[in-house]
Amino acid sequence: MMGVIYTETVVHMASPAFEKDVPYQVAIVTLESGERMTARIEGARVAIDDHVVLVETRGGVPFFRKSE
């Protein structure tokens, strides 16, 4: 699944369940269908309009990474 970054942030202060992950990047991805979903970003940081690809879904959460 492919998409484009609509917006993003890097979280530095988190809820207890996510404190082990900080800093981590969350983004809203616009999919090819036009639908949007909130996802985590793996690997390199992304910016608005970057193209991303789905790596996997863990615990109901989609993880995307920047596509080459």
Partner 1 sequence: MRPVAVIGTGKTRFGAFPDRDLLSLAVEAGDKCLKNGHVSPTQVEAFYLGNFAGPSFVGQNHLAPYVSTALGIHEVPATRIEAACASSGSAFFHAVSGVAAGLYDLVMVVGVEKMTSQPTPRVTEILASAGDCSGEIRAGSTFPSLFAMIARRHMHEFGTRREHLAAVAVKNHANGALNPDAHLRKIVTFDQAMAGKPVADPLTVYDCSLISDGAAAVIVAPADRARDFTDKPVHVLGIAQASDALALDEKADITTFPAVKAASRKAYRMAGVSPSDIQFGELHDCFTIAEIIALEDLGFVPRGEGGPCSAAGYTARGGAKPVNASGGLKSKGHPVGATGVAQICDIVQQIRGEAGERQLARHSLGLAENLGGSGASCVVTILGEL
For residue 12, what are the CA distances in angstroms to 3, 18, 46, 52, 60?
25, 10, 16, 22, 22
Q: What is the total count of residues that contact partner 1 (CB under 8 A)? A: 30
Q: Name every residue whose Cβ is closer than 8 Å to that of residue 55 and which is 6 or more positions away in sequence.
A: 42, 63, 64, 65
Identify residues 27-56 at the interface with partner 1 (CB under 8 A).
Answer: 27-28, 36-40, 48
Task: Kindly tell me which residue out of 4, 6, 42, 51 binds partner 1, with binding defined by CB under 8 A.
Answer: 6
Least distance from partner 1 to the Cβ atom of residue 67, Å: 19
Output the smallest distance, CB 2 to partner 1, in A.
17
Chain residues that interact with partner 1, rule: CB under 8 A: 6-19, 21, 23-24, 26-28, 36-40, 48, 59-62
